[in-house]
A and B are shown apart, each in its own frame.
Chain A
């Protein structure tokens, strides 16, 4: 894990750029958000939130790699794989203040920029642009969720595989295969078999 000041600076600049996609924020305006943000560090393979706990945070990944899964009987169904710049948290638990049904676990050592539920409400009340930023960010989240749902249902296994490896080449290197297979709802054996499609010239 890197922990130099330069890395934090770069990650914060990334966060600034990410938020500015929704609502342009000056350096000063972005600075107003910083007091609300907590930096949280986790080793690899650590459960950031477990089933039954109440999610207190919305997290943006400064660096690292995280997965979210649902324990179902004796299986784990991966529902999200997230790396630098992505938002990850147990959203039902966060918003409804109910015990989490999902587990969030680091794959690599990870640093989060986190905002607590209470701080977020305060931010919405005190920072005028936050409301619009929140609305647009959540709209975007909804649209992406809907697209993923649609892809899962309508695309073939092979199409889902190819789409993922083309759009997330770095994830294919970093994430254990079984988690990607679970995320794409593809059997691990099938996933292995499809890997020949990744060789150059086969795309």
Chain B
């Protein structure tokens, strides 16, 4: 499990064995059944999580409608990040969609590791930058692409998720009606996509 995390962080910063051990010493393994809620609005996020196995979604309610904002699978980070970073209450729910194993670290522990290791702090800076960029990119695509283009783009990037995530959540994530999503699915047959 830790090996998976090591591969992931190496894309940002090549940590020495010692530095990685320091990081690993603070990690706890958390196991969740499917459809378990990890956090809800009003609670402060305690953990930054790395998905080793499973699938998790982040969402909130707009009126009575659920709006899915993140779908995180293996080798991705998931957290109510704004709450984790600010210490303010979360605006979001996070819920597992499958049996999920997370490698988790509390904010206090992470900050302690930052104090001890400048290179882990660099890792923190780069990953936080990545959060900002993902948000920015999502926002740009949302404004620039029409429904059909968003659908195609998503499927190209996340072909594995189309099989795993209930259609209503995918539709919500892409901000389209479930009917529209169903209709667009015919595009999948014409454009074969590779599995993960």
Instruction: Using CB atoms and an 8 Å cutoff, list the residues of chain A in contact with chain B.
Output: 70, 72, 77, 79, 91-92, 95-96, 101-102, 124, 128, 131-132, 134-135, 138-143, 145-147, 149-150, 153-154
Instruction: Point out the residues of chain A lying under 8 angstroms from B139, CB to CB.
Output: 79, 149
The contact of B140 among A96, A102, A143, A150, by CB within 8 Å, is A102
Name the 10 nearest CB pairs between A and B, nearest first.
A135-B125, A146-B82, A139-B85, A143-B86, A138-B128, A143-B82, A142-B132, A134-B125, A131-B121, A142-B131
Instruction: Point out the residues of chain A lying under 8 angstroms from B131, CB to CB.
Output: 142
Q: Secondary structure of the A side of the interface?
A: helix
Residue of B nearest to A70 (CB): B143
Q: Would you list which residues of chain B between 124 and 164 have a CB under 8 Å from chain A?
A: 124-125, 128-129, 131-133, 135-137, 139-140, 143-144
Sample (29) of A-B pairs whose CB atoms are under 8 Å apart: A70-B140, A70-B143, A72-B143, A77-B143, A91-B136, A95-B129, A124-B122, A124-B125, A131-B121, A131-B122, A132-B121, A134-B125, A135-B114, A135-B121, A135-B128, A138-B125, A138-B132, A139-B86, A139-B128, A141-B132, A142-B85, A142-B131, A142-B135, A143-B82, A145-B136, A146-B81, A146-B135, A149-B139, A153-B62
State how many angstroms separate the Cβ of B79 from the closest Cβ of chain A. 11
In the complex the two chains form, what is the Cα distance from A143 to B92 in whole Å?
A: 13
Instruction: Using CB atoms and an 8 Å cutoff, list the residues of chain B in contact with chain A.
Output: 60, 62, 67, 81-82, 85-86, 88, 91, 114, 118, 121-122, 124-125, 128-129, 131-133, 135-137, 139-140, 143-144
Q: Secondary structure of the B side of the interface?
A: helix
Instruction: Point out the residues of chain B lying under 8 angstroms from A154, CB to CB.
Output: 60, 62
Extra contacts besides A139-B85, A142-B81, A154-B62 (13): CB < 8 Å:
A70-B140, A91-B133, A92-B133, A92-B136, A92-B137, A92-B140, A124-B122, A131-B121, A132-B121, A147-B82, A149-B139, A153-B62, A154-B60
